[in-house]
C-alpha cells in the first residue's frame, strides 16, 4: 500500500474517532522520516470556535518526562552525574531511610519512595533545607529500591531538582539550552513560554457528566513537575528525528533510555513492541489533555496524538495509526451498545481492585440498584463513572473511553480485570 492509501486509511480511522469518541486534537504520522499526515481536528477553543490546527500547541502532560530523562542523560554524557549516583549525593536533606535510592531508580519508577509531588519542593527545593520541615516528613518506602514498580511523579520532581543543582541553572533554562534549542523545537516551552507562540488549546474534560472547559488557553498551570511542557506534534516529530537520525545522544545512552528495566518502562521512556517492531515513547493525561507519542527506532515512523479532551483514547489511537503504517491489523472504533446484565453477575464484580500504577493505587466498583459504578481518588480529585456491559464479562465507560474485560480464576471467582496501559495489557487484581 502506497502513501496515498495509508493517508486514506488514517483519515478514515480518525473520522471514526470523531464520530464515536468526539476526538479533538492534532495528529501527526510519519513513515520513512517523511510526514504523511499532520492535521488538526475539532476545536482548540470551543467558546471562540477556533479549530485545532497542525501548529496548535498542547500541554504534553507526562510526555514531559522524556525531556527530564534527556536532561539527566545530557548531564551523564558530560560526566557530571551517573545513573547509579545515590540521590543523597545531590539533594541536601535527603532522608537516611532513602539512602539506597539512585537516580536510575527515580527514572524507572523503582525508588519505592512514598511522597506526593507537591511536597517535594517544600522539603528539598531550598539550597539549605529547613531541619524543622524535614523533621515532619515520614520517609516511608513502598518497597525496597529496585524491587518493584510504582509510577511516581514525585521522583521526577526530585530529578528536576537534581538537574538544576548539577547544572547550576534552573531546570527550565537547562532544558532550553541543552535540549529544546539544540533540537530546534521552536514551539516547545516550559509552561506557556515568554515569547510569541501559536495559541495553546483549551483543555476539556467530563465534569458532572458534561464536557466542560478545564484549562483556558491563556492559563499557565503547574510547570514545576514532569507535566509542565507545551508543544506541538511537529516538534515531537523533530525530536524523533534528532534522536533517531542526527545522533543527539550516543547509542549507549539511547539503549539505556529505551531498554526495559521495570515493567514496560526504561529510563524515562515507555518501551515495547507493535507488530514485532521496537517502539518507544510516552503517554500523558490530566487537566483537560490526553497525549500519546510513539516512534519506532531505525524505521523513521513516528506517531504523535495530542488531544485537548482528557479522556481521548490517544494511546490506542497511536498504536492503531502505527499499525496502519506497517500494514498490520487494527479495529475501527464503533458505537458501543449496552446490554442488560443480571444483578447477580454485577454483584460479583463489586469490590476493590489494585491498579498497576499512578497516583491512585485502588479502584472501587460498587453496585447501586441495577447500575455499576467505578470510582478512583479521594476528595476533590475523586472521579466516579458508570460502567456499561457489552457482555457479562466486558464493560466500558463513555467517560474514560476504556474497555475492561473481567477474568475469572480456576474456581470461577472474579480474579480482576484487564486494561491497556498504553503498551501492554495489564491485570488489575481484585483485592476484596
* pTM, two decimal places: 0.89
The grid coordinates of residue 16 equal 471514526
Judged on CB neighbours under 10 Å (0-12, 13-18, 19+), 405 is middle
Q: What is the pLDDT of residue 274?
A: 76
Q: What three-state secondary structure class fits 15?
A: helix
7 vs 22, 40, 321, CA distance in Å? Answer: 21, 14, 10
- 125/322 Cα distance (integer angstroms): 41
245 vs 250, 253, 301, CA distance in Å? Answer: 11, 14, 12
- 351/43 Cα distance (integer angstroms): 39
Q: What is the pLDDT of residue 115?
A: 86
Judged on CB neighbours under 10 Å (0-12, 13-18, 19+), 411 is exposed
Q: What is the pLDDT of residue 197?
A: 61
Q: What three-state secondary structure class fits 181?
A: coil
Judged on CB neighbours under 10 Å (0-12, 13-18, 19+), 85 is middle
- Strands in 58-59's sheet, in edge-to-edge order, are 58-59, 229-231, 189-190
The grid coordinates of residue 34 equal 517523511
193 vs 66, 176, 186, 197, 312, CA distance in Å? Answer: 19, 11, 11, 8, 26
Q: What three-state secondary structure class fits 19?
A: helix
- 373/403 Cα distance (integer angstroms): 14
Q: What is the pLDDT of residue 257?
A: 96
Q: What is the pLDDT of residue 423?
A: 59
Residue-level pLDDT, tens digit, the chain, 432 residues: 688 899 999 999 999 999 988 899 999 999 999 999 999 999 999 989 999 999 999 999 999 999 999 999 999 999 999 999 999 999 999 999 999 999 999 999 999 998 888 888 788 877 777 787 777 788 889 999 999 998 899 999 999 999 999 999 999 999 999 999 999 999 999 987 665 566 889 998 866 656 666 666 555 555 566 778 999 999 999 999 999 877 899 999 999 999 999 888 999 999 988 778 899 999 998 878 999 999 999 888 999 999 999 889 999 999 999 999 999 999 898 888 899 998 899 999 999 998 765 545 788 999 998 899 988 766 555 677 889 999 999 998 877 777 889 999 999 999 999 876 555 678 889 998
- Cα 279 to the chain's mean position, in Å? 15
**Distance in Å from the first CA to the final CA of the chain:** 50
Domains present along the chain, CATH in parentheses:
1-334 (3.40.710.10), 343-429 (2.40.128.50)
Which DSSP category does 52 fall into?
P
Which DSSP category does 176 fall into?
I
CB 288 within 8 A of CB 395: no
- 283/64 Cα distance (integer angstroms): 9
Count helices and strands (H / E) in the chain: 11, 21
Q: Which sign, positive or negative, has the C-alpha torsion 353, 355, 356, 359?
A: negative
Cβ neighbours for 158, distance < 8 A, ≥ 6 positions apart: 87, 91, 106, 120, 124
- 392/202 Cα distance (integer angstroms): 38
Angle, to 10 degrees, between the axis of helix 64-77 and the axis of helix 153-167? 40
Per-residue three-class SS string for 99-166:
CCCEHHHHHCCCCCECCCHHHHHHHHCCCCCCHHHHCCCCCCECCCCCCCCCCCHHHHHHHHHHHHHH
Residue with the three cell numbers 531546570: 171
Query: CA angle, corner 313, sides to 310 and 317, nearest 5?
Result: 135
Query: CA angle, corner 291, sides to 387 and 207, nearest 5?
Result: 45
Residues in the chain: 432
Q: What is the pLDDT of residue 135?
A: 76
Neighbours of 34 (CB within 10 A): 8
The grid coordinates of residue 247 equal 545522533
Radius of gyration of the chain (CA): 22
Amino acid at each position: 500500500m502506497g502513501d496515498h492509501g495509508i493517508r486514506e486509511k488514517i483519515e478514515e480511522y480518525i473520522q471514526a474517532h470523531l464520530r464515536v469518541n468526539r476526538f479533538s486534537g492534532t495528529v501527526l504520522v510519519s513513515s520513512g522520516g517523511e510526514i504523511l499526515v499532520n492535521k488538526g481536528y475539532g476545536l482548540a477553543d470551543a467558546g471562540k470556535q477556533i479549530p485545532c490546527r497542525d501548529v496548535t500547541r498542547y500541554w504534553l502532560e507526562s510526555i514531559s518526562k522524556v525531556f527530564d530523562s534527556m536532561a539527566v542523560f545530557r548531564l551523564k554524557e558530560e560526566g557530571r552525574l551517573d545513573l547509579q549516583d545515590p540521590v543523597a549525593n545531590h539533594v541536601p536533606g535527603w532522608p537516611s531511610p532513602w539512602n539506597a535510592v539512585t537516580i536510575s531508580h527515580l527514572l524507572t519508577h523503582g525508588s519505592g519512595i512514598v511522597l506526593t509531588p507537591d511536597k517535594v519542593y517544600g522539603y528539598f527545593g531550598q539550597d539549605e533545607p529547613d531541619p524543622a520541615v524535614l523533621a515532619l516528613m515520614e520517609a516511608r518506602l513502598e518497597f525496597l529500591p529496585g524491587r518493584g514498580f510504582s509510577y511516581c511523579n514525585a521522583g521526577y520532581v526530585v530529578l528536576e531538582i537534581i538537574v538544576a543543582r548539577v547544572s547550576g541553572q534552573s531546570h527550565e533554562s537547562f532544558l532550553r539550552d541543552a535540549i529544546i534549542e539544540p533540537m530546534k523545537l521552536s514551539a516547545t516551552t516550559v509552561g506557556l513560554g515568554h515569547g510569541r507562540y501559536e495559541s495553546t488549546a483549551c483543555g476539556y474534560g467530563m465534569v458532572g457528566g458534561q464536557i466542560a472547559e478545564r484549562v483556558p488557553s491563556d492559563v499557565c498551570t503547574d510547570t514545576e513537575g514532569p507535566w509542565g511542557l507545551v508543544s506541538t506534534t511537529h516538534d515531537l516529530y523533530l525530536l524523533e528525528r534528532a534522536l533517531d537520525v542526527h545522533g543527539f545522544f550516543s547509542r549507549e545512552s539511547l539503549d539505556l533510555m529505551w531498554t526495559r528495566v521495570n515493567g514496560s518502562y526504561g529510563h524515562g521512556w515507555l518501551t515495547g513492541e507493535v507488530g514485532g517492531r521496537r517502539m518507544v515513547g510516552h503517554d500523558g493525561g490530566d487537566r483537560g489533555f490526553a497525549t500519546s507519542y510513539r516512534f519506532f527506532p531505525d524505521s523513521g515512523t513516528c506517531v504523535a496524538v495530542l488531544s485537548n479532551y482528557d479522556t481521548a483514547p490517544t494511546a490506542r489511537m497511536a498504536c492503531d495509526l502505527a499499525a496502519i503504517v506497517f500494514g498490520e491489523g487494527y479495529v475501527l472504533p464503533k458505537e458501543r451498545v449496552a446490554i442488560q446484565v443480571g444483578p447477580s453477575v454485577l454483584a460479583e464484580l463489586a469490590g476493590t481492585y489494585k491498579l498497576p500504577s499512578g497516583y491512585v493505587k485502588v479502584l472501587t466498583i460498587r453496585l447501586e440498584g441495577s447500575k455499576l459504578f467505578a470510582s478512583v481518588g479521594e476528595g476533590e480529585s475523586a472521579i466516579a463513572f458508570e460502567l456499561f456491559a457489552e457482555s457479562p464479562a466486558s464493560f466500558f465507560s463513555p467517560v474514560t473511553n476504556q474497555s475492561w474485560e473481567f477474568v475469572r480464576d480456576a474456581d470461577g471467582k472474579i480474579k480482576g480485570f484487564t486494561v491497556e496501559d498504553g503498551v501492554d495489557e495489564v491485570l488489575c487484581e481484585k483485592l476484596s
